[in-house]
Amino acid sequence: MQHILRMIKPYYKLIAIAVFAVVLNVFGSMLIPTISAEMINLGVRGAAVSSVLKQGLVMLGATVISSASGILAGYLIAKIGAGLTYDVQTALYKHSLSLSASEFERFGTGSMLTRSLNDVFYLRAGLLMLIGDILPVPIMFILGTVFTFRISSNMGFLLLGTMSFVIIIGAFIIKNASAIFEKLQTLLDKMNVILRETYVGVRVIRAFNKEGHEKSRLKQSFEEYATSAIRVNRLYAGLDSLALAAINICIAAIFYLGGKNVLAGKMEIGHITAVTEYIALALYNIVFAQMVLLMLPKAIVSLKRINEVLDVSPSITDSPNPKTPDSGTSEVVLFNSASLRYEGALEDALSSLSFSCRRGETTALIGGTGSGKSSVAKLLLRFNDVSEGSVLFGDVDIRDMRLSDLRGRISYIPQKAWLFAGTIADNLRFGDPEASDECLREALITAQAEFVFDLPLGLDTEVSQGGTNFSGGQRQRLAIARALVKKADLYIFDDSFSALDFKTDLALRRALESRLKDSAVLIIAQRVNTISGSDKIVVLDNGKICGIGKHDELMQDCMLYREIAVSQSKGGAVVG
């Protein structure tokens, strides 16, 4: 809760002015029936026109003040809502970037999108409705009751009884609605996940002829959501019907009692009009507020879900006393008995790794599926921290470095080549916004991505989200070119050659040798052909090192490496 209160704090003055404007608007609205009743009574008594006109001018003044304050309140409420939406969404976005991979995965991408969009919308709507729609109700309730009791105590008690009935019914319905709204938000998360999986995996779905299965899965999810939504709508309808019936019965009773009082000379006819308007204003606003109150449980649930994200304290943060490594050291990275155990896991993903990556050399990691190869890259980038041991960058433990400094010294090509919507040039400049077009061309040539030069718009060619308008191999080469544009001490290629044919793979590795001769290179691969020329090859098996050396040495001394090499060779011939 303290997160939201801290974000609301800058708007306290605007909220105070908006509250004052709302109060003024309500007071003016409730004053108008009193003035109107007096004008009617003056007319019935046969008073002078000047007296009626005088009351008319007072009514005009009350109307102007009420309208102006209503417009001001609406403007301020909209301004507060827009500012708060921006602040909360920005806070969620920045906080999500600070979370480690395991911390982010507690929520998942679908849920994070829902929290950043839907939940922020409901939170904003709840706050604004609280000020603009719910706050006027107690004021109208008090003023309407006081003004009615001044005219007739019987009518005052009638108004109190009707209001109490409507409020009790509303409270009962709101209590039942809260649990349904919480379920709706959970179902919305589920729908987002299924839709995202369907859109992203549409080719796989078609390839396996599973359209029917996915339709039934979506249908089930939508039906669960629709069933809960219909229950909420029934609550709305029930409240609306009961409240309107109570209002109409109350007004009919007012006319009956008022008529008797007028005939008995206890009340003037204008007072009946005034009391009717008091009741209509008060009760209609109570009904509307209760409709709004049905939204508050959703806002409260949304607030809780937003706080769940903001309450997570990032486990990976900058050191309070950051150190800067010596850029001149030949040993760029050193793993010193480094182990990694993911949150909730029973075993280490990496266990006691000890090896180094040196400047001007290529170090390779190879192993079977699930051997922990990509976890090494996560440690280097501090997506996760070691559970035991240490990882040094130069002469400094990476936990003692600023995250921006560490990641600024590393250029990373992930397993899945992801491109962003924009142009090819925009994507290539992701690591160096100031890079010249010539620098981009050199990176493309090194990455064997000369196909860009054959495109009609060249570097200005549009890239769709995820780079889906390019083939897998083209995306991978563009991702490599993007990494090469960035000047770094360490380049990590995380299975970045898997979509390339052998000829392109070989040409790319030769081009990288000369371009990256002053940096350390770490290649994570599954193909022996990709890494056979590396200066050092580290073989992983179930998160442990089972061999370190050059290709020829490992072929002699490491059984696992030899098995991998033989299995990948044509006809069982040894790769070399």
pLDDT at 425: 93
In tens, the pLDDT along 370-398 reads: 888 889 999 999 988 899 999 999 889 99
Separation between Cα atoms, residue 464 and residue 149, nearest integer Å: 68
First to last CA, the chain: 62
Determine the topology of domain 1-311 in CATH.
ABC transporter transmembrane region fold (1.20.1560)
Across 200-209, 269-278, 419-428, the highest mean pLDDT is recorded for: 419-428
Q: Is the pLDDT of residue 367 over 50?
A: yes
Inter-residue contact 316 to 385 (CB < 8 Å): yes
Separation between Cα atoms, residue 339 and residue 352, nearest integer Å: 5
Separation between Cα atoms, residue 218 and residue 214, nearest integer Å: 6
H/E stretch holding 367 reads strand 362-367
Query: Comparing C-alpha atoms, which of 171, 386, 425 is closest to residue 290?
Result: 171
CB within 8 Å of 237: residues ≥ 6 apart: none
Q: Which residues pair with 336 in a beta bridge?
A: 390
The reply to whether 331-571 shares the fold of 1-311 is no
pLDDT at 334: 93
pLDDT at 574: 45
Average pLDDT over residues 215-235: 85
Q: Where are the alpha helices (DSSP H) in 99-152?
A: 101-105, 109-114, 120-129, 136-151
Q: What is the mean pLDDT of the chain?
A: 86
Average pLDDT over residues 155-164: 84
Separation between Cα atoms, residue 8 and residue 473, nearest integer Å: 48
Q: Where are the alpha helices (DSSP H) in 201-329?
A: 202-207, 211-263, 269-293, 296-310
Inter-residue contact 156 to 145 (CB < 8 Å): yes
Separation between Cα atoms, residue 349 and residue 387, nearest integer Å: 10
Query: Comparing C-alpha atoms, which of 192, 147, 171, 188 is closest to residue 35?
Result: 147
- Residue 440: count other Cβ atoms within 10 Å of its Cβ: 23
Least confident interval from 57-66, 123-132, 352-361:
123-132
In tens, the pLDDT along 281-296 reads: 877 777 777 667 667 7
Task: Name the maximum alpha-carbon separation found in the chain.
Answer: 119
Percent of the chain's residues with pLDDT above 90: 27
Edge-first strand listing for the sheet containing 396-397: 350-358, 331-340, 388-393, 396-397
Separation between Cα atoms, residue 258 and residue 263, nearest integer Å: 9
CATH among 3.40.50.300, 1.10.357.10, 3.90.1530.30, 3.30.365.10 for 331-571: 3.40.50.300
CB within 8 Å of 379: residues ≥ 6 apart: 335, 338, 340, 350, 385, 386, 391
Three-state secondary structure readout of 25-62 = HHHHHHHHHHHHHHHHHHHHHCCCHHHHHHHHHHHHHH
In a 13 Å sphere around the CA of 137, the CA atoms on its Cβ side amount to: 22
Torsion 417-420-421-426 (CA) sign? negative
CB within 8 Å of 377: residues ≥ 6 apart: 412, 492, 494, 522, 524
pLDDT at 1: 64
Percent of the chain's residues with pLDDT above 70: 98
SS3 523: strand
- What are the percentages of helix, strand and coil residues in the chain, rounded to 5? 65, 10, 25
Tokens encoding 38: 């007096």
Q: Are strands 462-463 and 536-541 parallel, antiparallel or unpaired?
A: unpaired
Average pLDDT over residues 144-157: 83
Q: Between the CA of residue 208 and those of 214, 286, 291, what are the distances in Å?
A: 11, 56, 47
pLDDT at 187: 84
Three-state secondary structure readout of 64-92 = HHHHHHHHHHHHHHHHHHHHHHHHHHHHH
DSSP character at residue 132: I
Least confident interval from 16-20, 101-105, 354-358, 441-445:
101-105
Tokens encoding 344: 């909730």
Domain residue extents for the chain: 1-311, 331-571
Q: Which residues pair with 545 in a beta bridge?
A: 540
In tens, the pLDDT along 532-565 reads: 888 999 999 988 999 999 999 999 989 999 988 8
SS3 392: strand
- Residue 407 carries which side chain, given as an amino acid letter? R
pLDDT band, very low/low/confident/very high, at 521 (cuts 50, 70, 90): very high
pTM here is: 0.69
SS3 557: helix
Phi, psi of 264 (to 5 degrees): -85, -5
Separation between Cα atoms, residue 472 and residue 500, nearest integer Å: 8
Q: What angle do CA 502, 506, 508 make, to 5 degrees?
A: 115
Tokens encoding 314: 């990032």
Burial of 502 (0-12, 13-18, 19+ CB in 10 A): exposed
DSSP character at residue 117: I
Q: Is the pLDDT of residue 76 over 80?
A: yes
pLDDT band, very low/low/confident/very high, at 87 (cuts 50, 70, 90): very high
Tokens encoding 515: 């371009």
The gap from C-alpha 195 to its chain's centroid, in whole angstroms, comes to: 16
In a 13 Å sphere around the CA of 307, the CA atoms on its Cβ side amount to: 14
pLDDT at 572: 46
Q: Are strands 350-358 and 536-541 parallel, antiparallel or unpaired?
A: unpaired
